[in-house]
A and B are shown apart, each in its own frame.
Chain A
Amino acid sequence: MRLLVLGAGPGGYVAALKAAQLGAEVIVVEDTEVGGTCLNRGCIPTKALVASAEAIHKAKKLKDFGVDVSGEITPNLSRIMERKNKVVSTQVKGIRSLFKSWGVTLIEGKGMLLTPGKVEIEKKDGSVEIVEADKIIIATGSKPAQIPIFPFDGEHILSSDDALNIKSIPKSLIIVGAGVIGCEFACIFRELGTEVTMVEMMPGAISTEDPEIARLLEKELKKKKIKLMTEVKVERVEGQHDGIHVGLAGGKELVAEKLLVSIGRSLNTEGIGLEAIGIKKGSRGEIEVNEHMETNIEGIYAIGDVTGGMLLAHVASKEGTVAAYNACGIEKKIDYSVVPAAIFTSPEIASVGLREDQASEKGIDYITGHFQFRALGKAHAMGEISGFVKVVADKETDRLLGVHIIGPHASDLIHEAAVAIKAGLKVRDIADTIHAHPTLSEGLMEAAEDVHGEAIHVPKPT
């Protein structure tokens, strides 16, 4: 069986490797660089910048830790970018060598479906090659969505792609959209010394998260002197000699050196031949798939951002695995019941399972437990006490339904909860498990205990 994978992001490259492991002959077509958005313009480069931002933050607090430094602490942007690029290129090499090792053929160029078994590839050198395949996985991903009245110019009006490659630290930055990407960049730039103002149409930042978590993030942003304006709409953007002028509905005007637009992603479903072969798309242009990740056309699968789902790298990868199995004749269904998600703001945020509103929607009688990191010795030892763990549980059965964390290492802490939910464990199971001391993981144990009003490190309720 010959499989062609269109796009080598975390969806496509994982699908390719899985299919190769299952014995398929695999050809991957990639237009830019293996690793896709995630590795080249998303998850990994942002986290490399977050690591530099954290280093600056820690350096500024060295005195608190009893370390004297002489001289000023100043970010060196070109070195920060070099480090980031090195992190990315190492991972890119890793994927390329995995392809080699599993015998996956990589064709660099832009692919377009001609028929359900034929793909035309416009290669980097301008030549065109037509490749035939028995099965095809479409994994073309997404790109930054722009606002038509002020498109990206790469210089002053930036996309997240541009922001990852800036040449100098802007004195001031306006970020349109206080979602995950906007908030992550706000924290990064603020630590670099930029004055950051965020403009959001919704009533708050990261509006898809648990409201208590979102509220604490807003407070933490305020602490950093990141200005967040909510329920405002940008009406006008103009470049003038002194910077970018942003006109808001209601007449107010903001001025900054640069503008970052992070309002969402637009799906790469154009120009890849979907119409020609009649692949069905939904209302947002997303490719429609069934639980086997198969499109309406037999033997053609679609995975990752292009299916318009959760827009998460690990979801794309899991979908890639499922598609690869099915393409190779082994039936597998996608299971979205447990999808942890992390936001790399400072502090970090992570969640898995149901929020309160989702539990109510399902008609579940639920109960919550909370635990503040500041009540943990480890958090104090680390000097990172902001944040909490929140547990949502089924009141009747005691089953763990959801966990929401804001605080240090939230993105690593969430997986205990993910496994527990996947296994259908009760809150009692977590509370009764001995957790090592002193660790941040004690936070989840105590939040689980708090569900039953039994947490140790909380004062008696008044």
Chain B
Amino acid sequence: MTDASADQSKWSMVGKDPWTMPIEKIDLSHPGIWQANEFLPFMERLRLEDPVHYCAESAVGPYWSITKYKDIMQVDTSPEIFSSEPTIGIVDTYDEYTLPSFISMDPPKHDEQRRIAQPVVAPANLKRLEHLIRQRVCNILDELPLETEFDWVKEVSIELTTQMLATLFDFPFESRHKLTFWSDAATAIPGAGVVASNEERWAAMEECLQVFTGLWNERVNAEPGNDLVSMLAHGEATQNMSPMEYLGNIILLIVGGNDTTRNSISGGVMALNENPAEYDKLRADRSIIPNMVSEIIRWQTPLAYMRRTALVDTELGGKQIKAGDKVVMWYASGNQDSEVIDRADEFLIDRDKARQHLSFGFGLHRCMGNRLAEMQLRILWEEIMQRFDMVEVVGQPERVYSSFVKGYTHLPVKLHGLN
């Protein structure tokens, strides 16, 4: 909850000149420049002058920054050199309270577990949920006031994401805010607001397991339904999961689809406001929406990075990376790399090959929910365009204090109806 101007940490880059400061001091891991939205020129300098960059001292210890599209691809597609264990966050977690989930596992364990969970978000299943998701989107949009300022993040991005999660799990609708709480608790740093201690966090996870076990028992004895719990309970590969495996999968699905989708919803509104010519293109031709959705996800890059750990000594971009080193793939930088993406610094909703972005990662860990995320955003924008001429940003946005989750905490808007 720190405000950028109050970001007094000695590690903060806020206010430093990205082009003249000593390059070895550039540290992208500190949240300050992300909240202040000043990260772009730092990344640009690294791409130009030191694309595989070693930061020897930071609040999270030494680490490598990988900033170019092709180098990121290389790291992402070499799991035998760059491991996802023990964690994909920049901070090492040595804590018995972390739930095992396949996002931070290497093959073969990763592949076995992902194969179990994957069918629930496969496009064929999503198709069956589309109608219900559209109804929920319509309900929220129909309740919004015209010509009155409100917070898009709270009223739409968070509410919609929460409702969509509830829809996907066919979770009791009145208790849907529990899903958001469990998601926040699962990723929370104890003491930073959501939970006070690891014990408290674990209590939240136990509650989550209890509630979802109830749902499982209810559905395993009923006819197979279209929701994710029913699919897991009736699925050949999943019906014999252990409780911890079940919980791990549920939490990964909740967490994976929470902040990311939420911030893509906010990010799209912001990008269209900053690029009025693109908003005009959208008004003129709504068939651009699927392409625009990919461009929004590139532009927003809801997860700024994924971290790997080198298993062996290796070379990348002429630099010697040692076994055990932390390696951070900055998707937010690779997505701006004009060597691979034409006019990468422009938001173009009708761009060619819009799907060619790094926001979902690549390789074995490529986002499992990517089709779900795209479907949600597509439906949302189809329905927004049915109702509103413009979602106008009318004040300063506030951004998340994190170098991992890239997004908004507040976005004041006013809606203008179709004339």
* A and B from one complex: no
Q: List residues of A whose CB falls within 8 A of some B CB.
A: none
